[in-house]
Chain A
Amino acid sequence: MNFLVGAFKPPCNVSINLADGRTRKQVPLKKENGQTVMVPLFQSQENIVGEVVIEPVQGKKVEHNGVKIELLGQIELYFERANFYDFTSLVRELDVPGELYERKAYPFEFSTVEMPYESYNGVNVRLRYILKVTISRNYVSNIVEYQDFVVHNYTPLPSINNSIKMEVGIEDCLHIEFEYSKSKYHLKDVIIGKIYFLMVRIKIKNMELEIRRRESTGSGPSTYVETETLSKFELMDGAPVRGESIPIRLFLSPYELTPTYRNINNKFSVKYYLNLVLVDEEDRRYFKQQEITVYRLLPTP
């Protein structure tokens, strides 16, 4: 087996080493095969500096038509088979055509790279960043090596962050007023709020707050919308009476949220909603959905 593998092994080992690889933060990334690997984390405008090391297998030479490294930002829509869109593509030529006999390191640098979009792994869409090294060869397939990395972009605290406050109801049946202290939340934020019951004429069994993620991909008639409920958080047990005010405190940290993405490269959007659901004794559900904006706050050092 090893022998067989050995037979098809490329004639050289290619590795991409980042200059700050040891100190840079690593984040988990789920691969297609379901495995999670740790990959470096970047943000937009960062310099991506490192070296590519090509080490021919003992006693072999590698002929090539040139070595290059690319930085690619791709959007992959699953329902359109093999449909990649590169929204970012930067190339550095590392070597002119020639032959390699021994280990050779090529330093590379992408300075202040614009990476406007965050890495995202959704239901119907994936946005990813890769470093791709290509050793072009004649007659035989090119030797290609990938290095995934993740981009998170941080948003400063929003200057305006209004509360969400609304009175809703069904005539002569149920009137409530709810309030979420903010409309924009960072990923580790807490939703604070309260629900005030103005009129209750139905027998309520309980009340939940759902966090829903709505991913829409494509555009026009071929838009795919996927909605997931990330949390069912019970806020109230039992039937309140008029005048009761029920507190809300929901920590967002346990849920795998991403920031809100709006119309990423005209390909997809990810939005978050708070859905307040009241369930009556006959299991009828009364709900009101409100969009919230989720953003990524620079972690305080």
Chain B
Amino acid sequence: MIADGVENEEKWLAAGIAGLQQNAFYMHRALDSNNLRDALKYSAQMLSELRTSKLSPHKYYELYMRAFDELRKLEMFFKEEARRGCSIIDLYELVQHAGNILPRLYLLCTVGSVYIKSKEAPAKDVLKDLVEMCRGIQHPVRGLFLRSYLSQVSRDKLPDIGSEYEGDADTVVDAVEFVLQNFTEMNKLWVRMQHQGPAREKEKREKERSELRDLVGKNLHVLSQIEGVDLDMYKDTVLPRVLEQVVNCKDEIAQFYLMDCIIQVFPDEYHLQTLEILLGACPQLQPSVDIKTVLSRLMERLSNYAASSAEVLPEFLQVEAFSKLNNAIGKVIEAQVDMPIFGAVTLYSSLLTFTLHVHPDRLDYADQVLGACVKKLSGKGKLNDSKATKQIVALLSAPLEKYNDIVTALKLSNYPRVMEYLDIETNKIMATVIIQSIMKNNTRISTADKVEALFELMTGLIKDLDGAEEEVDEDDFKEEQNSVARLIQMLYNDDQEEMFQIICTVKKHIMTGGPKRLPFTVPPLVFLSLKLVRRLQGSSQDQEENPFGDDSSTSPKKIFQLLNQTIEALSIVPAPELALRLYLQCAEAANDCDLEPVAYEFFTQAYILYEEEVSDSKAQVTALHLIIGTLQRMHVFGVENRDTLTHKATGYSAKLLKKPDQCRAVYGCAHLFWVDDQDNMKDGERVLICLKRALRIANAAQQMSNAARGNTGSVLLFVEILNKYLYFYEKGNPQITVAAIQSLIELITTEMQSDNSPPDPAADAFLASTLRYLQFQKQKGGAISEKYEAIKV
């Protein structure tokens, strides 16, 4: 059925074109023979083809264009006739004898154009007559095309200022009046289309109407091109008249299109000076008009205008552009009750962009916009409209992009309140955007207040928000938390007191993060704090420590207390290995600060964790080595404390599951008793005990291996122990004798030659290089060389 319609339309169009061409042919012949009467007759017949009602606007346009071309030829002929002395006034009358109105009016417009050119009558009179007479066509499509033809032929003949058709005073008024009238009538016809024909074809009609809209809009373009339309005239006549028509037509499509047209065709400075009038019309539009787009485009234009040159900015201030826009948006939102949240947010977003461009110095404006947005959103709960959230993200990103500085955005008190309305997912995205902005611009967030505000903004990343959390992608989650971690590292203030406050704030927030986040967020906080500790240490050397221990001032002790609590929080995760490492880090820092009890406490915590939480044997090995390594460097402990701790560590070593691990841990413990640069910690005896014990364990390991697998296993452990012997020997431990070393070397060589031992290239290589080291040291000369000379291999 529809296909049929299309086919028929093609047929009708073809018939129309054929009829038109045939009559055009006769018309040409009449033109060639200067036969005016026939020319008029055939041109009228030709134009009669345009009387059809069967074509859609699209096809009708095709027909119209052909007629248009023919009419150009006719116009040339009329010009010739006029030059030959035919009275143009008579001609103007003659064409009006045509019986059918549509051809008559096309001919009238054509002659009218020549009439104006001849200057036998003032352009304004002819134009006025033409535009009046065109009222005879009440059929929307035919009327639109006719009036469009009129507009076309009259464009270059308007009595504009500076035009050759300029009349006496106020001539521009006539030109404007003419275009306005034509515009008004065209718009009426265009709107009327909507209400004609059956309701079921509404969609088709709307499509057809949109095909025709440029015919109407063209008039506004013509208006904008009239030289004589200066600001005053625009303000007093053009705009009010156009808006009157726009408002009164009460048609959604027309209102949207025309508002947009007005915004696009007239110059920016006009808009700026007439904002009030233009905006005043907005709340009067139909509720279904997509006014947000209209206003957004207006603000976009004005923003660009403001950006184009600094010279225009005072104009914006002068006309109070911001408050006018702000008011208008308020009113529009009020008027259009059904406007979706998305629309309102879009409006605010545009307004914000505008104010950021135009008044970058007026943060309060930006905050006002956000405040208004909050007001609109309030009582709606979280948004689940994806378009709206997208707009909010845009809204919130705008200040970040503009100022490149989150600090500025943090001054906007309504900023976090807007964020609250985002759903969890979007909130996170927004938070990530904020962090990225900070990273990119290397922004220093330097006060606790700002940190507080910032974390308030990033709540989505910092803790689980209310509402069931759906599965989040593991990678995404890591990414997010890593960025939070990076952010924490970026917080800095030269003032230590403030810095401490920052740390407290951060801690307060990250503690709410729950088991999944803590492993990511606690370490950066710990290190941030330790950095501060170092700085305190540095400064305390310069100035005298407050002897009264003023509680309010920041002291390392306080930080350590805080750290203790922080790390403890990891136990709920649980993440014992991580906590253990952090404890050890803190212990070392405490050591540097000469805070023995604190360091001891940290160690205690580490040990407790080791005993109670670290159960995996591999983890135990790693942890134990860490403990040993840290403990070795501690110099703050008194004998008693140190003994306790070393004793414990040695004890742990012996209790490891695998023999080789035991062995390695034990010889590691040897270092606990021999600290190179501290003479009070050189207990050669106990070093030897440890080493011997290691040897015993290595032996046991070999025997176990023999029993279980039938071979003695590698000698690797022995080689390792040999290295330890050599180390302590070189360091001058009197308990390590040449004999012991030599017997150990012998033992190793024997073992290696025995059939029972499997070939182990690693062990071979290790031994070989150890021996090479021996040789090297021997040849080095000096005291060391002498020492090594004693060892015979």
Contact = CB atoms under 8 A, between A and B. Distances in A.
Interface of A: 206, 231-241, 244-247, 249, 251, 253-254
Contact of B192 (A236, A241, A249): A241
A231 B192 CA distance: 31
A240 B138 CA distance: 5
Contacts of A238: 137-140, 142-143
B192 to A, nearest CB: 6
B133 A247 contact: yes
A251 B458 CA distance: 81
Contact of B99 (A232, A240, A253): A232
A249 B133 contact: yes
The prevalent SS among residues of A at the interface is strand
B101 interface: yes
B97 A237 contact: no
B138 A244 contact: yes
Interface of B: 51, 93, 96-97, 99-102, 104, 132-133, 135-140, 142-143, 188, 192, 196
Listed residue (A232, A237, A240) with the most chain B CB atoms within 10 angstroms of its CB: A237
Given A234-B101, A247-B132, A247-B133, A239 B96 contact: no
Contacts of A254: 97
A249 B93 CA distance: 10
Contacts of A253: 93, 97
Contacts, number: 55
B146 to A, nearest CB: 9
B135 A237 contact: no
Nearest to A240: B138
B135 A247 contact: yes
Contacts of B136: 234-237, 246-247
B215 to A, nearest CB: 16
B96 A249 contact: yes
A246 B137 CA distance: 9
A244 B96 CA distance: 22
Given A236-B136, A239-B196, A246-B136, A251 B142 contact: no
List the 4 closest A-B pairs by CB distance, nearest first.
A238-B139, A238-B138, A234-B101, A240-B138
A173 to B, nearest CB: 18
A49 to B, nearest CB: 37
A236 B104 CA distance: 11
B135 A246 contact: yes
Listed residue (B104, B135, B192) with the most chain A CB atoms within 10 angstroms of its CB: B135
Contacts of A251: 93, 96-97
A148 to B, nearest CB: 29
Contacts of A247: 132-133, 135-136
A241 B137 CA distance: 12
B99 A234 contact: yes
A234 B51 CA distance: 12
A236 B105 CA distance: 11
B93 A245 contact: no
A234 B136 CA distance: 9
Contacts of B137: 236-238
B19 to A, nearest CB: 18
Contacts of A245: 135
Contacts of B51: 237
8 contacts: A234-B99, A237-B102, A237-B137, A237-B142, A241-B188, A247-B135, A253-B93, A254-B97
A240 B196 CA distance: 11
A237 B133 contact: no
A254 B95 CA distance: 11
Contact of A237 (B132, B139, B192): B139
A254 B96 CA distance: 10
B93 A237 contact: no
